[in-house]
Structure 1
Amino acid sequence: MIAINDIHKSFGDAHVLKGITTVLEKGKTNLIIGQSGSGKTVFLKCLLGLFSPEEGDIEYDGKKYSSLSGDEQRDLRQEMGMVFQGSALFDSMTVEGNVRFPLEMFTKQSKSEMKERVDAVLKRVNLIDAHHKYPSEISGGMQKRVAIARAIVMNPKYLFCDEPNSGLDPKTAILIDNLIKEITEEYNITTVINTHDMNSVMQIGEKIIFLKDGLKEWEGTKNEIFKTENEAVTNFVYSSELFKKVRQMYIEERN
């Protein structure tokens, strides 16, 4: 669980985060949504420890980040897995090498222990025959699965995903969404997903936080989105014709 208490973040005169308070729940997919410029990326970087809020606190399972020593903060960051928007794989490394990289950097495991762990996570993301391929030799969906395997190889307590469906076709995007949700539940991870993909919201949005102009405008579940009267949320969610029809169907069924 990650508890965020009244955090503020500014860059010069730009007040980007304006007192956000929320709880990101363990074993659930927590989605951060909002328009460009709403503060989503800065919020995510604060959670990752890349930015330090000027005010407020962030607690990771009861540990207040600002109260930890430098070594303790480093140890905490090693409990975080990250799936980047573009997968961010090393082109010169094989799939196996990409997934093994965090183990080589941050653990003292033997080669056999590393191989066993890499094999296990690649099997979990359904990549059992891709060990010796390079990123350029596999599809975008497979690259994303490699990125997820790398993110979970060290058994993180917290998993952060930045636009995990970016550049994927709708069918593959659904597979990635479902994989992230399954891993979240199996490993009991606190998963935070930064996304603009409303299909993801409706597919796996167990908790949704909507940011607007650096404020938490609304939070709830994917089912509660249909019920909200918050105009900013409805304008964002139902900007497409598809979701307008879904909204209308919901209203008609309720009446």
Structure 2
Amino acid sequence: MIQVKDLHKGFNGQEVLKGIDYQFERGKTNLIIGQSGSGKSVFLKCMLGLFKPDQGAIEYDGKPYSNFSDEEQRELRTEIGMLFQGGALFDSMTVEENVMFPLRMFTNQKRGEMRDRVHEVLERVNLEGNDTKMPSEISGGMQKRVAIARAIVNKPKYLFCDEPNSGLDPQTATVIDNLIQQLTHENEITTVVITHDMNSVLEIGERIAFLKDGLLAWKGTKEDIFHTQDKTVTDFVYSSNLFKKVREAQLKGH
């Protein structure tokens, strides 16, 4: 679980995050949505420790990050998996080497043990037999699954996903969404997903935080979002044709 308390962050005298309180639940897919410039990326970087908040606290399982010793910060980094926008695979490394990278960085495992773990996670994301291929030799959807395998190879407690469906076709995006949710449930991970993809909201939005102008404007589930009367939220989500069609189908069903 990650608890955010009264989080403020600004740059050059301009406040970007203006006092956010929120709790990211363990074993659930926690989505952060909002327009460009709403503060989503800054929020994520604060949680990752890349930005130091001006005010407030971020607690990992009840302990404020600001109180972590250097050793505890290093330990936390081993417990975090990160799925970057676009995948961010190393072009010069094979699939196996890409997935093995966090094990080499953060563990003292022998190579045989690392290879066993790599093969285990590649099988879990349905990529067995692709170990020796280079990223350029596989599809975009397969590259994203390699990136997911790399993000979970160290058995993280926390998984952060930055626009995981960027550049993918709708069918492949749904596969990636469902894989993230399955892994979250199977391993009881606290998963945080930043997304602009309204299909992701429909597929895996177990908990949704909607940011606007640096504030938490709304929170709820994918079911709640269809019934909210909050105009700020409805103006945003119903700009998506997908949401309009689903909403119309729901109304006809009643």
Question: What is the TM-score with the length of structure 2 in the denominator?
Answer: 0.98
Determine if contact 1:49/1:77 at 8 Å carries over to the other structure.
no
Asked if the contact 1:3/1:59 (under 8 Å) is kept, the reply is: yes
Taking the aligned partners of 1:109 and 1:78, their CA distance within structure 2 comes to 14
Which residue number corresponds to residue 248 of structure 2?
248
Q: Which runs of 4+ in 1 moved over 2 A?
A: 245-254
Q: Does the CA-based 8 Å contact 1:91-1:134 persist in structure 2?
A: yes
Superposition deviation, residue 106 in structure 1:
1.2
Task: Give the total of aligned pairs.
Answer: 254
Q: CA deviation at 1:252?
A: 4.8
The residue number in structure 2 matching 1:219 is: 219
AA partner of residue 179 (structure 1): L
* Residue 19 of structure 1: aligned partner: 19
SS at match of 1:7: strand
Structure 2 unaligned blocks of 5 or more: none
In the aligned structure 1, how far is the partner of 2:104 from the partner of 2:212? Answer: 40
Q: Do the aligned partners of 2:199 and 2:242 also contact (CA within 8 Å) in 1?
A: no
Output the amino acid matched with 2:247: R
Structure 1 residues 94-173: aligned runs within 5 Å: 94-173=94-173
Over residues 191-217 of structure 1, what are the superposed CA-to-partner deviations in whole Å (9 max), with x where a residue is unaligned?
A: 000000000000000000000000000
Q: Does residue 193 in structure 1 map to residue 190 in structure 2?
A: no
- Unpaired runs of 5+ residues, structure 1, are none
CA contact (8 A) 2:198 2:240 kept: no
| Partner Cα separation in structure 2 for residue 143 and residue 161 of structure 1 | 15
Return the alpha-carbon distance in structure 1 between the equivalents of residues 171 and 41 of structure 2.
26
How far is 1:242 from its partner?
3.1
User: Could you tell me the TM-score, scaled by structure 1's length?
Assistant: 0.97
Report the AA paired with residue 240 of structure 2.
S
Could you say what the CA RMSD is over the residues aligned between the two structures, in angstroms?
A: 1.0
User: Aligned with 1:222: secondary structure?
Assistant: coil
Alpha carbons 1:226, 1:250 under 8 Å: kept: no
**Hey, what's the Cα distance between the residues in 2 that align with 1:54 and 1:126?**
43
